[in-house]
Amino acid sequence: MPEHRDTAATYHRYHIPTQPAPDIEKWPSRFKVKVRRAGLAKLLISEVLHYGPRKDVILSRPCMYGVFSGPVGGFMPREEHCVGCLRCTTEFPEFVRIEHNPERRSLGDSYFTFNYVDQIAYEASSGLVPVRGAGYRGKFGGEGWDGMWTDMSEIVRPTRDGIHGRETISTVVDIGYTPNFLQFDAAGQPIGNTPHTLSIQLPIVLDGPQNELAAGVAQMYARAAAELDTLAVLPFDYAVGLAAYGAAVVPVLRPEHARRLSQLGFTPRMVEMQGWDEALYSAITATFPDAIVALRTGFEETGALVSYAQRGIKVFHLLADFHGRSADGSFVLDLIREAHKAFVDAGIREEVTLLASGGMIAAEHLPKAMICGLDAVAVDTPLLVALQARFGGECSARGASSFRLPGNLNATWGVQRLKNLCASWRDQLLEILGAMGLREVRRLRGEMGRAMFMKTLEADAFAGLLGYTEAKNG
Amino acid sequence: MASIANKTDEQLIVEKHISNLHNGFAHWPRAEEAPPALGDSRWTQDLILATWLMAETGQVPDNGLEYKIGASGGGFDVLDFNIPNQDQWLSEDTEIDLSLPLNRRDDGAQLKINIPMYGGGMSYGSISEHVMQARARAAQHLGTFTSTGEGGYPPSLVPYKDHIITQVATGMFGVREETIQYAPIVEFKYAQGAKPGLGGHLLGDKATSAVAAMRESVPWVSLFSPFPFHSVYSVEDHRKHVDWIRTTNPRALVSVKVSTPTDVDMVAVGSYFAGAHIVHLDGSYGGTGAAPEIAKKNIAMPIEFAIPKVHKYLVSENVREEVTLMASGGVRTAYDVAKAIALGADGCVMGTAELIAIGCTRCSNCERGRGCPFGLTTTDPLLQQLMPADWGQQRIINMYNAYAIQLRDLLRKLGLRSIRELRGRRDLLKYVG
Ligand code: SF4
Ligand code: SF4
**Chain A nearest CA to B409, separation (Å):** 22
Q: What is the DSSP string of A170-190?
A: B--EEEEE--SS-EE-TTS-E
* H helical segments located in A229-349: 236-239, 278-287, 305-310, 332-346
- Contact between residue A437 and residue A153 where contact means Cβ atoms under 8 Å apart: yes
Interatomic CA distance for residues B433 and B77, integer angstroms: 8
Query: What is the best residue among B374, B380, B386 to mutate for testing ligand 2's pocket, by most ligand atoms within 8 Å of CB?
Result: B374
Interatomic CA distance for residues B10 and A60, integer angstroms: 10
For B2, other C-beta atoms within 10 Å of its C-beta total 6
Q: Is A33 exposed, middle or buried (0-12, 13-18, 19+ CB in 10 A)?
A: buried
Tens of pLDDT, residues A36-50? 999 999 999 999 999
Which amino acid does the sequence have at A215? A
- Contact between residue B314 and residue B362 where contact means Cβ atoms under 8 Å apart: no
Interatomic CA distance for residues B56 and A339, integer angstroms: 57
Burial B400-423 (b: 16+ CB within 10 A, else e): bbbbbebbbebbbbbebeebbebb
Q: List chain B residues with CB under 8 Å of A93.
A: 23-24, 27-28, 31, 35
Ligand nearest to the CA of B126: 2
For A15, other C-beta atoms within 10 Å of its C-beta total 10
Mean per-residue pLDDT for A105-111? 97
Interatomic CA distance for residues B276 and B107, integer angstroms: 11
Q: Is the CB of B26 under 6 A from ligand 2?
A: no
**CA closest to A467 among chain B residues:** B431
Q: Give the confidence band of A167 by pLDDT, cuts at 50, 70, 90.
A: low
DSSP code for A448: G
Q: Give the confidence band of A161 by pLDDT, cuts at 50, 70, 90.
A: very low
Mean per-residue pLDDT for A396-424? 96
Q: Is A191 exposed, middle or buried (0-12, 13-18, 19+ CB in 10 A)?
A: exposed
For A16, other C-beta atoms within 10 Å of its C-beta total 19
Q: List chain A residues with CB under 8 Å of B380.
A: none
Question: What does the pLDDT read at residue B214?
Answer: 83
For A110, other C-beta atoms within 10 Å of its C-beta total 11
**Of how many residues is chain A composed?**
474
Residue B250 has pLDDT above 50, yes or no: yes
Query: What is the best residue among B296, B365, B367 to mutate for testing ligand 2's pocket, by most ligand atoms within 8 Å of CB?
Result: B365
Longest alpha-carbon distance in chain B:
71
Q: Is the CB of B43 under 6 A from ligand 2?
A: no
Identify from A29, A119, A129, A152 which residue to disrupt to test chain B contact, counting B C-beta atoms within 10 A and taking the largest count: A152
Residue B267 has pLDDT above 50, yes or no: yes
Cα(A82) to ligand 1 centroid in Å equals 5
What residue's CA is closest to ligand 1, atom 8? Answer: A63
Question: Do A87 and B373 make contact, defined as CB atoms within 8 angstroms?
Answer: yes
Question: What does the pLDDT read at residue A6?
Answer: 58
**CA closest to A160 among chain B residues:** B227
Mean per-residue pLDDT for A17-31? 96
Q: List chain B residues with CB under 8 Å of A431.
A: 198, 292, 294-295
Cα(A66) to ligand 2 centroid in Å equals 18
**CA closest to B258 among chain A residues:** A154
Mean pLDDT (chain A, rounded): 93
The CA angle A458-A462-A463, to the nearest 5 degrees, is 105
Mean per-residue pLDDT for B345-361? 98
- Contact between residue A93 and residue B27 where contact means Cβ atoms under 8 Å apart: yes
How many Cα atoms within 13 Å fall on the side-chain side of residue A143? 9
Question: Do A431 and B226 make contact, defined as CB atoms within 8 angstroms?
Answer: no
The mean-pLDDT minimum among A7-11, A109-113, A431-435, B338-342 falls in A7-11
Interatomic CA distance for residues B228 and A42, integer angstroms: 56
Mean per-residue pLDDT for B84-110? 96
How many Cα atoms within 13 Å fall on the side-chain side of residue B270? 19
Mean pLDDT (chain B, rounded): 93
Question: Do A160 and B304 make contact, defined as CB atoms within 8 angstroms?
Answer: no
Query: What is the best residue among A40, A69, A83 to mutate for testing ligand 1's pocket, by most ligand atoms within 8 Å of CB?
Result: A83
**CA closest to A33 among chain B residues:** B37
When comparing pLDDT for B364 and B218, which is higher? B364
Q: Give the distance, in angstroms, between the CA of residue A118 and the centroid of all CA atoms in the same chain.
A: 13
Q: Give the confidence band of A163 by pLDDT, cuts at 50, 70, 90.
A: low
Q: Is the CB of B383 under 6 A from ligand 2?
A: no
A102 interface with B at CB cutoff 8 Å: no
**Chain B nearest CA to A236, separation (Å):** 36
3-state secondary structure of B28: helix
Q: Is the CB of A133 under 6 A from ligand 2?
A: yes
Interatomic CA distance for residues B351 and A430, integer angstroms: 28
A89 interface with B at CB cutoff 8 Å: yes
DSSP code for A350: G
3-state secondary structure of A206: strand
Question: What does the pLDDT read at residue A5?
Answer: 57
A150 interface with B at CB cutoff 8 Å: yes
Q: List chain A residues with CB under 8 Å of B232.
A: 155
Residue A162 has pLDDT above 50, yes or no: no
When comparing pLDDT for B151 and B18, which is higher? B18
Q: Return the C-alpha torsion angle A296, A300, A304, A310, nearest 10.
A: 20
Q: Is the CB of A135 under 6 A from ligand 2?
A: no
Question: What does the pLDDT read at residue A165?
Answer: 53
Q: What is the 3-state secondary structure (H, E, C) of A311-329?
A: CCCCEEEEECCCCCECCCC
Looking at chain A from residue 22 to 61, which residues have their Cβ under 8 Å from any Cβ of chain B? Answer: 31, 50-52, 54, 56-57, 60
Q: Give the confidence band of B303 by pLDDT, cuts at 50, 70, 90.
A: very high
Q: Is the CB of A49 under 6 A from ligand 2?
A: no
Mean per-residue pLDDT for B165-187? 90
Q: Is the CB of B222 under 6 A from ligand 2?
A: no
Identify from A154, A169, A466 which residue to disrupt to test chain B contact, counting B C-beta atoms within 10 A and taking the largest count: A154
Question: What does the pLDDT read at residue A411?
Answer: 95
**Chain B nearest CA to A160, separation (Å):** 7
- Contact between residue B385 and residue B321 where contact means Cβ atoms under 8 Å apart: no
Mean per-residue pLDDT for B324-353? 98
Q: List chain B residues with CB under 8 Å of A160.
A: 226, 230
- Contact between residue A181 and residue A196 where contact means Cβ atoms under 8 Å apart: no
Antiparallel, parallel or unpaired: β A249-253 and A232-235? parallel
Quote the percentage of chain A above a pLDDT of 70. 96
What residue's CA is closest to ligand 1, atom 3? Answer: A82
How many Cα atoms within 13 Å fall on the side-chain side of residue A192? 10
Closest in A84, A90, A462 to B24, CB measured = A90
Question: Do A60 and B301 make contact, defined as CB atoms within 8 angstroms?
Answer: no
Cα(B184) to ligand 2 centroid in Å equals 30
A471, B317, B422 from A453: Cα distances, Å: 18, 26, 28
Cα(A421) to ligand 1 centroid in Å equals 28
Interatomic CA distance for residues B365 and A82, integer angstroms: 11
**CA closest to B355 among chain A residues:** A134
How many Cα atoms within 13 Å fall on the side-chain side of residue B182? 23
Cα(A134) to ligand 1 centroid in Å equals 17
3-state secondary structure of A260: helix
The CA angle B224-B230-B234, to the nearest 5 degrees, is 140
Which contacts of A271-280 are long-range, i.e. CB under 8 A and separated by 24 or more positions?
A272/A233, A272/A296, A272/A317, A273/A313, A276/A308, A276/A311, A276/A313, A279/A255, A280/A253, A280/A254, A280/A255
- Contact between residue B206 and residue B379 where contact means Cβ atoms under 8 Å apart: yes
Antiparallel, parallel or unpaired: β B429-431 and B324-328? unpaired
Interatomic CA distance for residues A280 and A277, integer angstroms: 5
Question: What does the pLDDT read at residue A434?
Answer: 85
Tens of pLDDT, residues A246-255? 999 999 999 9
Burial B349-387 (b: 16+ CB within 10 A, else e): bbbbbbbbbbbbbbbbbbbbeebbbbbbbbbbeebbbbb
What residue's CA is closest to ligand 2, atom 8? Answer: B360
Which contacts of B162-169 are long-range, i.e. CB under 8 A and separated by 24 or more positions?
B163/B136, B163/B139, B164/B136, B164/B139, B165/B118, B165/B121, B165/B255, B167/B121, B167/B123, B167/B257, B168/B241, B168/B245, B169/B121, B169/B200, B169/B225
- Contact between residue A104 and residue A30 where contact means Cβ atoms under 8 Å apart: yes
What kind and span of H or E run contains A234? strand A232-235
Ligand nearest to the CA of A77: 1
A88, B26, B44, B82, B377 from B47: Cα distances, Å: 20, 15, 5, 22, 20
Q: List chain B residues with CB under 8 Å of A137.
A: 40-43, 362, 364
Nearest to A432 by CA among A343, A347, A366: A366
Nearest to A369 by CA among B168, B108, B274, A379: A379
Q: List chain A residues with CB under 8 Å of B226.
A: 160-161
Nearest to A400 by CA among A338, A321, A345: A321
- Contact between residue A220 and residue A411 where contact means Cβ atoms under 8 Å apart: yes
**Chain A nearest CA to B214, separation (Å):** 22
Ligand nearest to the CA of A79: 1
Question: What does the pLDDT read at residue A166?
Answer: 57
Q: What is the DSSP string of B313-353?
A: HHHHTT-GGGSEEEEESS--SHHHHHHHHHHT-SEEEESHH
Quote the percentage of chain B above a pLDDT of 90. 76
Tens of pLDDT, residues A347-371? 999 999 999 999 999 999 999 999 9
Question: What does the pLDDT read at residue B92?
Answer: 94
For B92, other C-beta atoms within 10 Å of its C-beta total 7
**Chain B nearest CA to A230, separation (Å):** 23
Q: Give the confidence band of A1 by pLDDT, cuts at 50, 70, 90.
A: very low
A468 interface with B at CB cutoff 8 Å: yes
Residue A206 has pLDDT above 70, yes or no: yes
Interatomic CA distance for residues A132 and A139, integer angstroms: 17
**Chain A nearest CA to B7, separation (Å):** 11
Phi, psi angle pair for B365, to nearest 5°: -100, 20
Q: Give the confidence band of A204 by pLDDT, cuts at 50, 70, 90.
A: very high
Ligand nearest to the CA of A32: 1
What Rg, from alpha-carbon coordinates, does chain B have? Answer: 21
